[in-house]
Structure 1
Amino acid sequence: MSLIVSKNEDDKENKFEDAYEIIPVASTMNLMSSLEECTTGLYLFLNNKFSDAINLIHPWSHNSPYHALIYDILMTVKAILTFEPQDIQIGMTTAKNALKTCNRFRMKSRMTSLSRIVSKQGIQAVKEEELHAEVCYAECLILKSAVTFIQDDSLLGFLKSGINIGLSYQIYKDSQQVLTKIPKYQSKANKHLVGGIKFGLGAFNLMLSLVPPKILKILSIVGYFGDREVGLALLHESASENHINNILSAFTLLFYYNYIYIAFGVEKGYNSAIEGLFLTYLQKFPNCVILIFFHARFRMLTGHFEFAQLKLRKCIFIQNEWKQIHHLCYWELMWCHIFLQEWKEAYYYASLLSQHSRWSKAIYTYSKAIILALHPTDSVSEDMNTLFLKVDSLRIKILGTSVPIEKFVAEKGERYATTSGWFTAQPLLEFLYAWSGFRVMSKRLDLISKWLSIIDKGEDILKGNPSKEYGTDDISLLHLLKGLCLKHLGKYWRAEQYFNHVIQKEKLLKYDHYLVPYTHYELGILYYLKGDYINAIRSLDNIKNYKDYAMEARLQFRAHIALEQISREK
């Protein structure tokens, strides 16, 4: 491979984005032309031309590291979206081939790291193409780990993924050291190298910072720790710059702020800078279904559920090639209607998911049952109790064990199908809490008040006719949720009272032992919001005293992140 850069490169690059539809598959390939053609493929993808993107990238995927990487990304995304065995197998084959392709372009016959070679022999000892192949190889290792994880649910598959991730991170760190030796006036391809390393190190720092120390010890094969602020800063830099990995950096940030942050982060403050970055990409690719989907999610998190529904329906309307993206929209539409208490529409989207999506039949079936509990209708032929009992048979396994949330809803399904005396909204209220629904609604205090009214009615009903077996558990659940709603409404003193009611009933709980550690978490966050860091830490530390309860790992993640945030602000 030789590097060829024309004197008109700047003009070419400025016009390149608008010309993506007319650039044919190349007959020759060097580093810059491979970067240009792969960028074209990404632009096609971002304009919903998925088959065109694949057809453009595939011919060179065995002879160019960047083509191998981008083709690997496309096939991995498809495998995760469809969850079809055939697509997962194609994703694995593609990942293996991509690693072979990238490896052919890496430096040969080296017994030590690139950074040590460069330190001893100078930067001239490494070809530019070899550095790019190194970073592409690291990214392909991550992709292979992702496919391995969904293909092989054994402990061996998990270990293989961990080993690949550890090797990938080491390559990124090694490549970063090499960058310090490269002159600033290096070729135009250098920005893609820098951007790729920022993406990799940013993603790793963010990912590892979310993992509690206890779990990191179990994953000692990785052998690293992460800094969240460093990770977010690197990803934001990478997403703001012009290189081939910028869109992946942007998608990583969007996923973090729209999902991970909502599920695990603390509630004080929000980084609005990502929204400005996002709008820049949306202006550049106004019809990209992935960006429109995130636009809808942004609006959900600001309480504009009706506007979010319009955007989600647009996502469904503008492309039919990858229908699995429709399933993402169905899920969010179901939640929008649940938040607004529109049961008929919520049931419709839960039904679509149970019919067409492979991700979690157990969750979708349970969703239908809990919605039917609130909206029984003659037009629906399905029976609520039959659906509840069916959930357990639909569970899947990952790493040889049940998915925690599926195990949780299966146990709840059996309980609600075989007992009476529970409040009709109770299963849905609990499900809302499990999926951070109250936090998603937190910008709409009118909706929080409506749900609080439902909780109040449920409390009156359960107190009037308590269940001998589940009475304490049921009331404790409602007290936890009541405290949560009052917290969002700013009524901290009353919220604290209800949280303490749950903790005081700890020894009387028979089944829902998760309620007490989760209440300690909510009480800790309440103290944090009040600025009482001493009591916040005490409440969060109490969580360590509990084991073997539902959704335990999720709470460990949340507590770890909250404690880290508090220690940073003290």
Structure 2
Amino acid sequence: MTEDGSSDEEFEDAATTLQTKLFDTDGYSQEVSKGLEVLQNAVKLVITNRYVEAEAILRDKAKDSLYHGVGYALIVFIQAALSFDRESIERTHTNIQQALELCNKHRRTTNMWGTLSGMWYGKRLDGYSVVELHAEVFYAECSLLEALLTFLQDESLMSFIRAGLKIRNCHSMFKQCHSWLEEVNTTSSQQSATSPAVIDKHFVSGVHLGVGVFNVVISLLPGRILRLLEFVGFSGDRILGMRLLTSGYHSNTCHSPLCSMSLLGYYCVIAPYTGFGAYEDLSIPSDILRVQLTEFPNSGVLLFFSGRLALLQGKVDEAIAKFLRSIEEMSQWKKIHVIAYWELMYCYCFLGNWRAAAYYADLLYNNSRWSKATFLYQKAAFLLMAKRGEKNNPPVVGNDVPSFDATDDEIIEMMKKVPTLKQRIAGRSLPIEKFAINKAERYLQGEAIPLCGLEMVFAWNGFAVLEKAQHLAKLHLATVWECVTSTVEAKAGNNGPTDDHCVISLMQGLCFKSVGRMEEATRCFEDVTASAARLQHDHYTPPAACWQLGLLLMEEGKYDLASKKLEAAKSQYKGYTFENRIHFRVHAALSAIEKQRSHK
């Protein structure tokens, strides 16, 4: 199984190979041609911020037309997923069920012998019509939407089990469809003379979208999860996934925009948060955005991704401008504003403008239902950072810079409210909420919780941005130094200061690493790992420091030592906050080492 990335040229070569081995048809019926035309127009309307019009051209025939029904289900799913609104989720469930019924209506029906034969030998491609093939791939796509919606709709353990089974079934359907494409490639388009199969580019791109997304997502998972998934039939090859998505992006079909959004989502959002972004080529999303923004210069979604790309390049001010413009352009779809609020919140964290960050945390708290405990804790933490840092870093003021303020008593009230907002999903609370609640309760007990805002930056892998903006990293290093000089560094006996010391040393090491002071960073991280046995609360700091030591060894080209240190970060520490996040990032680093070794 391959774990590493690939170049742009490899993607283009793969796309060409995959497409030239397949054949198309011009013999669409009027119903199919019209349905595809409306579906593609609706997707373009969504990209150009005209969501109301997109819904309007799909809604009337959503119960009767395969293409209208699938397109409408996709649009309402996106709205429900972003809003977390219970009523929207219920309506979306109904729309997806209608789309699935339409897909079933157009799928190939088989008798009992055909069903048994398919279970044993797999379904045969012979004799499928264009509509039947479209219905197969649309059914798989809508099944995936239904499974994902189940996670949002019901927080019970049984709900998660049902959703997992649906995703497995969906994965199997995409694999079946992909096997048909391989069958066509193998036979070089030589089909049965009596019942020729008709493969068209919309079906092909739909298969590439589904199989591509599954392969990319599964390949990101840490080894312990991946081994379990492979045991039950899942597998992940990131190079194959990227090739298929790139092929779909270049196909000029109804799935092309979704393939391009999947690629942008991976490079600009998923890879950076999971740690893979440090090893990816940003010229690929840059090329996609250059082409897409030339055609759709005012697209709110594309402007959002453009802002994310600027942020990953360390251009924080440019990113803020892109996110603000994204919000302005998406006036018809205010529910999607929350994703831009989130990015703006952390942009101002990077700038050290904690009051502006608190302003956007407050907007998220009031406008999103995802995790109010996290939003409220972030607001309180950013305000604490602002109050503690005003001596050396006065707040930025101006008509174009938002700000939020609160008294000490109001911050205490926020911290008191955080534990009351805890959610439970499948009987368990979100790890980030556990962290926020633990910190809030410790603050109320009189603990200092130093650098609480920078801790949240670390939680979302934000130091990867500061490494690209060293002038901002220096600003935060000054804040950390102030904290070092004002905090009693107890080495034993007093649990609170020992935990505080490890948090401060970890943040200091991350800042040193961001500005290129590697020896000082190493000493900070080693100090943290040496203090592991004395910690009472912040048990995430030693494995995080161990992971960072592995990265420092990687930068020196000491791959054997780096691998040992990274494996230690993965295996020597258990049951701490951010464990899954650190395992993802360790997995990314180990994959990068494997890639470097293979290129020697």
**TM-score, structure 1 normalization:** 0.89
For each residue in 1:452-505, what CA deviation from the matched residue of structure 2 results, as whole angstroms up to 9, or x when unmatched? 111122112114789933111111112122222222222322222221111111
Structure 2 counterpart of 1:154, from 126, 140, 156: 156
Shift in Å at residue 5 of structure 1?
Answer: 4.8
| Structure 1 residue 191 corresponds to structure 2 residue 201 | yes
d(CA) in 2 for partners of 1:375, 1:514: 25
Tell me if the contact between 1:212 and 1:557 (Cα under 8 Å) persists in the aligned partners.
yes
SS at match of 2:336: helix
Aligned to 1:349: 360
5 Å-filtered alignment, 1:327-342, equals 327-342=338-353
d(CA) in 1 for partners of 2:464, 2:232: 32
d(CA) in 2 for partners of 1:299, 1:369: 28
Structure 1 counterpart of 2:312, from 289, 301, 311: 301
| Structure 1 residue 142 corresponds to structure 2 residue 144 | yes
d(CA) in 2 for partners of 1:215, 1:224: 11
Aligned to 1:487: 513
- Give, as a single letter, the amino acid of the residue that structure 2 aligns with 1:67: H
Tell me if the contact between 1:483 and 1:494 (Cα under 8 Å) persists in the aligned partners.
yes
- Give, as a single letter, the amino acid of the residue that structure 2 aligns with 1:91: T
Structure 1 counterpart of 2:583, from 550, 556, 560: 556
Tell me if the contact between 2:495 and 2:535 (Cα under 8 Å) persists in the aligned partners.
no
Shift in Å at residue 220 of structure 1?
Answer: 6.8
d(CA) in 1 for partners of 2:119, 2:26: 25
Aligned to 1:402: 429
Tell me if the contact between 1:64 and 1:102 (Cα under 8 Å) persists in the aligned partners.
no
- Give, as a single letter, the amino acid of the residue that structure 2 aligns with 1:451: H
* C-alpha spacing 1:265/1:230, structure 2 compared with 1 (3 Å): farther
Structure 2 counterpart of 1:238, from 233, 239, 248: 248
Aligned to 1:502: 528
- Give, as a single letter, the amino acid of the residue that structure 1 aligns with 2:429: S
- In angstroms, what is the RMSD of aligned CA positions? 2.6
Shift in Å at residue 58 of structure 1?
Answer: 2.2
Tell me if the contact between 1:118 and 1:126 (Cα under 8 Å) persists in the aligned partners.
no
Aligned to 1:30: 31
- Give, as a single letter, the amino acid of the residue that structure 2 aligns with 1:309: I
Shift in Å at residue 144 of structure 1?
Answer: 0.5
Aligned to 1:429: 454
- Mean Cα displacement is larger for which, 268-277 or 279-288? 268-277
Structure 2 counterpart of 1:474, from 497, 500, 512: 500
Tell me if the contact between 1:366 and 1:388 (Cα under 8 Å) persists in the aligned partners.
yes
Identity of aligned residues (%): 32
For each residue in 1:222-281, what CA deviation from the matched residue of structure 2 results, as whole angstroms up to 9, or x when unmatched? 521201122122212212221111111111121211222112224345341121012211
d(CA) in 2 for partners of 1:471, 1:191: 63
* C-alpha spacing 1:217/1:465, structure 2 compared with 1 (3 Å): closer
Shift in Å at residue 318 of structure 1?
Answer: 2.5
Tell me if the contact between 2:358 and 2:379 (Cα under 8 Å) persists in the aligned partners.
yes
Return 5+ residue gaps in structure 2 as ranges: 1-23, 191-195, 388-394, 396-403
For each residue in 1:45-71, what CA deviation from the matched residue of structure 2 results, as whole angstroms up to 9, or x when unmatched? 112111211121123323333322211
d(CA) in 2 for partners of 1:503, 1:294: 37
| Structure 1 residue 292 corresponds to structure 2 residue 299 | no
Tell me if the contact between 1:115 and 1:174 (Cα under 8 Å) persists in the aligned partners.
no
Tell me if the contact between 1:113 and 1:174 (Cα under 8 Å) persists in the aligned partners.
no
Shift in Å at residue 295 of structure 1?
Answer: 1.1
Aligned to 2:384: 373
d(CA) in 1 for partners of 2:67, 2:153: 24
- Give, as a single letter, the amino acid of the residue that structure 2 aligns with 1:458: C
Shift in Å at residue 303 of structure 1?
Answer: 1.7
- Give, as a single letter, the amino acid of the residue that structure 2 aligns with 1:92: H
d(CA) in 2 for partners of 1:476, 1:345: 28
Return 5+ residue gaps in structure 1 as ranges: 10-27
d(CA) in 2 for partners of 1:330, 1:125: 50
Tell me if the contact between 1:117 and 1:125 (Cα under 8 Å) persists in the aligned partners.
no
* C-alpha spacing 1:29/1:84, structure 2 compared with 1 (3 Å): farther
* C-alpha spacing 1:520/1:420, structure 2 compared with 1 (3 Å): closer
Tell me if the contact between 2:206 and 2:255 (Cα under 8 Å) persists in the aligned partners.
yes
5 Å-filtered alignment, 1:18-97, equals 30-97=31-98
For each residue in 1:141-193, what CA deviation from the matched residue of structure 2 results, as whole angstroms up to 9, or x when unmatched? 11011101111112211121111211222222211222245576999971111
- Mean Cα displacement is larger for which, 201-210 or 526-535? 526-535
Shift in Å at residue 420 of structure 1?
Answer: 4.2
* C-alpha spacing 1:420/1:128, structure 2 compared with 1 (3 Å): closer
Aligned to 1:255: 265
Off by >6 Å, runs of 4+ in structure 1: 185-189, 464-467
Aligned to 2:131: 129
Tell me if the contact between 2:215 and 2:241 (Cα under 8 Å) persists in the aligned partners.
yes
Tell me if the contact between 1:31 and 1:189 (Cα under 8 Å) persists in the aligned partners.
no
Shift in Å at residue 217 of structure 1?
Answer: 5.2
Tell me if the contact between 2:267 and 2:280 (Cα under 8 Å) persists in the aligned partners.
no
Shift in Å at residue 421 of structure 1?
Answer: 4.6
Shift in Å at residue 219 of structure 1?
Answer: 5.0
For each residue in 1:185-221, what CA deviation from the matched residue of structure 2 results, as whole angstroms up to 9, or x when unmatched? 9999711111111111110001111122322455578
* C-alpha spacing 1:343/1:518, structure 2 compared with 1 (3 Å): closer
d(CA) in 2 for partners of 1:417, 1:440: 32
* C-alpha spacing 1:117/1:535, structure 2 compared with 1 (3 Å): closer
* C-alpha spacing 1:529/1:364, structure 2 compared with 1 (3 Å): same
For each residue in 1:10-50, what CA deviation from the matched residue of structure 2 results, as whole angstroms up to 9, or x when unmatched? xxxxxxxxxxxxxxxxxx96222211110011111112111
| Structure 1 residue 533 corresponds to structure 2 residue 583 | no
* C-alpha spacing 1:375/1:180, structure 2 compared with 1 (3 Å): closer
Aligned residues: 543
d(CA) in 1 for partners of 2:275, 2:575: 23
d(CA) in 1 for partners of 2:214, 2:480: 41
Aligned to 2:234: 224
Tell me if the contact between 1:316 and 1:329 (Cα under 8 Å) persists in the aligned partners.
yes
Aligned to 1:313: 324
* C-alpha spacing 1:421/1:242, structure 2 compared with 1 (3 Å): closer
SS at match of 1:373: helix
